[in-house]
Amino acid sequence: GQQLNQSPQSMFIQEGEDVSMNCTSSSIFNTWLWYKQDPGEGPVLLIALYKAGELTSNGRLTAQFGITRKDSFLNISASIPSDVGIYFCAGRGSKGSSNTGKLIFGQGTTLQVKP
């Protein structure tokens, strides 16, 4: 199946550092979502983006919907140990595309935070 290109694949950072990860696609999406998944659990929504250019924050998290509608980034500021987990971007297909209504996931970014 189709996947989005998410990078980096993994990050190992010191507590207090900022983190940035991004996703790109060859297709246009009309919604970008960012999720966090803990081991053995389903993904939990962090931020949803609905318009090109939109910049949205949720606490220490900030995400942007790229102008071209083919990319998005997520920033985490002042990381803490509980930020550890796998972060996924997901794009919802535009109407009329082969992915209409479907949520397609990136490969994930594994984040480890050293106290």
Enumerate binding residues for another protein (CB under 8 A).
1, 3, 33, 35, 40-45, 48, 88, 90, 92, 101-108
Nearer to another protein, 44 or 67 (CB): 44
The two most distant CA atoms of the chain are separated, in Å, by: 47
CB of 78 to another protein, least distance (A): 26
Nearer to another protein, 30 or 77 (CB): 30
Burial of 57 (C-beta count, 10 Å sphere; 0-12/13-18/19+): exposed
CB of 64 to another protein, least distance (A): 18
Nearer to another protein, 14 or 98 (CB): 98
- The tokens describing 71, both together, are 């990319």
Helix (H) or strand (E) holding 114: strand 109-114
Nearer to another protein, 18 or 38 (CB): 38
Burial of 101 (C-beta count, 10 Å sphere; 0-12/13-18/19+): exposed
CB of 86 to another protein, least distance (A): 9
Instruction: State how far the Cα of 52 lies from the Cα of 27, in Å rounded to an integer.
Output: 14
CB of 16 to another protein, least distance (A): 27
